[in-house]
A and B are shown apart, each in its own frame.
Chain A
Amino acid sequence: MTLGNSLSVVNATKYYKKFKAVDDVNLTVNQGEFLTILGPSGSGKTSLLKLIAGFEQLSNGSIMLNHQDISNKKPYERQIGMLFQNYALFPHMTVFDNIAYPLSLRKMTKEEVKQKVESILKLIHLEEYAQRYPEQLSGGQQQRVALARAIVFNPPLLLLDEPLGALDKQLRKQMQLEIKQIQEHVGITTVSVTHDQEEALTMSDKICVMNKGRIEQVDSPEMLYKQPKNRFVAEFIGEINLIKGQVVSVTDGNAMVKVNEGMRVNIEINKDVAEEMKNKSMLIGLRPENIQIARDQTQFHNTIRVKVLETIYVGEAINIKTKMDTGEEIMAKIPAHMSELIVKGEEILLGWNSKDACLIPDETPI
């Protein structure tokens, strides 16, 4: 345990009868960090959050908060703030009373409570709404009240359970920024759970991708997007083309990958993993937006001749579906103004630089 660790989940396992919902999870969240647990439904992300909150008991392992083992503590002893998906505001209490509730449980004087509630109402810009009831607020306002109530008692940890699931798209974007802003302002360590990758990418310092109860990868949003560790992560976050290949040589941070007899691709790799990649069968991961139309074969490190199967206009860009000689399909995202270069049924030259692709272990040999 290093100093300053706020939350550590150690070998956490949770069985529901015989079903392993959380499978030997290890996770560390540093002081002040915003970590999002991202995964499809049934990946165990909500179970993990419930374990941290104390609503469920671990079958195995432990959970440490500020170097203290809280695994056996009841939820009301854990001092963890939680923002629920449907806000869970008390409908029979005013905004003021809702926010004052956790404080009133902590035996504070009325003046202290009043002062704290008022200062946090200011932070969420809802000073005039103190005497309203939750049902009289809009979704976004309810969300802010719920957030205020979750952090007003200065918990060391804030949990967010699908915090923006109930809001419409426009409001969701606005609230993403607002929650992030408040979180940074207060400096509270935060663990959020979501299945919305865009939300995870915009809000988090770190993202933990879960699948089938296990952690697939924990990384910064950028690294997760650029350098997915496996096929699941690559396909779960954003769009990606995966092309089978064999690493034939590794030199100086560059891997030469053979796709077929006539085609070799150059990809920039991390030097640490260079040795173990040699002669391995790998997947080339290529994001559609990193592919461009090439004038000739020298413009990019890698070029490929493909046939255009379909073009889909999406506003700022055109998604084109193409086919390589080998029959594998490649999706590319081209700026809309280049649309005249693409004709359905014609061949075009696509290209990308060696730093714009990544190599992913091929776990499913066919």
Chain B
Amino acid sequence: MIEVKKEPRILAQRVSFSHRLARISGLQWLLLIIPLGYIMILMVFSMMDFFKLSLFNEDGFTLEYFSHIFSTDIYLKVLWVTLKIALLVTFFSLIVAYPLAYMLVRTTSKLWKKIILASVLIPFWISLLVRTFAWSILLRKNGVINMILMEMGIIDQPLELIYNTTGVVIAMTHILLPYMVLSLYSVMEGIDQRLLLAAQSMGARPWKAFTQVFLPLSIPGVLSGSLLVFVMGIGYFITPALLGGSKTTMISMLIESNINTTLNWHLASALALVLFMATLILLFIAVLLTGKNPVLKELE
């Protein structure tokens, strides 16, 4: 069967690019050009122009902005904090989302399915700003969480939950959680549940069946969800800006202050390019990782 499938694919590659372009008819061109043009205006003109600032100034080509970034402690520290927060958020959202998505596909109760989906999706529909402020109310010194913990006698002093990394990670995990749950869910839903029954019939205890069959098959969802959350997290602005305080600065906040406050657009551009490259490298690694897995190949 697979041999039959492969044949047309090879043929398609042999057809030249110009030939393939010629196959697109007039109306199809129109349908392509309008949305593509809309996207490309930003990509080509605006972004290229902006990134050009990082490599060129009045004196011509220069690498001084990059060398400035990589030789100044504060910038390296911000890069590190950004990376750390993005990784922590990815990690925690995975920890929270995996059981949720798993229950979503495994439960036979329609009610539970609805409850889980609603609890994931309703926050998704509420404005980001509202959610961030809601978290600041919950997390501050005399906020609900500290009040309850002190009332119960678990702590004597209020915990420092806000204006630091902890607060940013808690709120960002919550905000980015739906992306993780939905990525996992879409892959898990495609896993044939009978595979688990099959594993059990061969003598695998449920935990073994899960770790040896379900988990490996859900890895594409773990990767795509993690990638999505990480990429969104690494460039996040509003939540760290409102909940991070002065100690927790992420790279997007630095870019913003360079543009709006210090008016150093060259440096802002260089920082943005560093962020962009970091994202690209991660995407590349992810593609490499997925390339080796036969299940993932199938999904492409």
Chain B 28-56 interface mask (CB, 8 Å, partner A; 1/0): 00000000000000000000000000000
- Evaluate contact between A91 and B294: CB separation under 8 angstroms: yes
A101 at the interface (CB under 8 A from B): yes
Interface residues of B in 176-234 (CB under 8 A from A): 192, 194-195, 197-206, 208-209, 212-213, 216-217
Known: A133-B294, A138-B1. A88 touches B198 (CB 8 A): yes
Residues of A within 8 A of B204 (CB): 76, 101, 105
- A contact residues vs B (CB 8 Å cutoff): 53, 55, 74-76, 78-82, 84, 86, 88, 90-92, 101-102, 105-106, 133, 135-139, 149-150, 153, 159
- Evaluate contact between A75 and B201: CB separation under 8 angstroms: yes
For the complex, what is the distance from the CA of A101 to the CA of B200, rounded to whole Å?
Answer: 11
- Evaluate contact between A76 and B201: CB separation under 8 angstroms: yes
B144 at the interface (CB under 8 A from A): no
For the complex, what is the distance from the CA of A196 to the CA of B131, rounded to whole Å?
Answer: 58
Closest to B213 in A: A90
For the complex, what is the distance from the CA of A133 to the CA of B295, rounded to whole Å?
Answer: 10
Known: A135-B298, A138-B1. A153 touches B202 (CB 8 A): yes
Interface centre among A53, A74, A90, A138 (most CB of B within 10 A): A90
Closest to A161 in B: B194
For the complex, what is the distance from the CA of A86 to the CA of B201, rounded to whole Å?
Answer: 15
Nearest-Cβ distance from residue A274 to partner chain B, whole angstroms: 47
B2 at the interface (CB under 8 A from A): yes
For the complex, what is the distance from the CA of A276 to the CA of B53, rounded to whole Å?
Answer: 104
Nearest-Cβ distance from residue A135 to partner chain B, whole angstroms: 6
- Evaluate contact between B197 and A76: CB separation under 8 angstroms: no
28 contacts between A and B (CB under 8 A): A53-B201, A55-B197, A75-B200, A76-B200, A76-B201, A76-B205, A76-B209, A78-B201, A79-B203, A81-B201, A81-B202, A82-B197, A84-B198, A86-B194, A88-B192, A88-B195, A88-B197, A90-B195, A90-B199, A90-B213, A91-B294, A92-B293, A101-B202, A101-B204, A106-B203, A150-B202, A153-B203, A159-B201
For the complex, what is the distance from the CA of A76 to the CA of B208, rounded to whole Å?
Answer: 11
Which listed residue, A74, A101, A137, A153, touches B199 by the CB 8 Å rule? A101
- B contact residues vs A (CB 8 Å cutoff): 1-2, 192, 194-195, 197-206, 208-209, 212-213, 216-217, 293-295, 298
Main secondary structure on chain B at its contact with chain A? helix
- Evaluate contact between B197 and A84: CB separation under 8 angstroms: yes
Residues of A within 8 A of B295 (CB): 91-92
Which listed residue, A91, A105, A139, touches B203 by the CB 8 Å rule? A105
Residues of B within 8 A of A105 (CB): 202-204, 208
For the complex, what is the distance from the CA of A137 to the CA of B203, rounded to whole Å?
Answer: 25
Residues of B within 8 A of A106 (CB): 203
Closest to B3 in A: A136
Residues of B within 8 A of A153 (CB): 202-203
Residues of B within 8 A of A86 (CB): 192, 194
For the complex, what is the distance from the CA of A136 to the CA of B2, rounded to whole Å?
Answer: 6
Other A-B pairs beyond A76-B203, A101-B199, A150-B202, 11, CB < 8 Å:
A74-B200, A81-B201, A88-B192, A88-B195, A91-B294, A91-B295, A101-B202, A136-B2, A139-B1, A153-B202, A153-B203
Residues of A within 8 A of B212 (CB): 101
Residues of A within 8 A of B217 (CB): 90-92
For the complex, what is the distance from the CA of A105 to the CA of B206, rounded to whole Å?
Answer: 12
For the complex, what is the distance from the CA of A153 to the CA of B202, rounded to whole Å?
Answer: 8
Closest to B194 in A: A88
Closest to A75 in B: B200
For the complex, what is the distance from the CA of A123 to the CA of B160, rounded to whole Å?
Answer: 67
For the complex, what is the distance from the CA of A101 to the CA of B203, rounded to whole Å?
Answer: 9
Residues of B within 8 A of A88 (CB): 192, 194-195, 197-198
For the complex, what is the distance from the CA of A213 to the CA of B2, rounded to whole Å?
Answer: 42
Residues of A within 8 A of B205 (CB): 76
- Evaluate contact between B213 and A149: CB separation under 8 angstroms: no
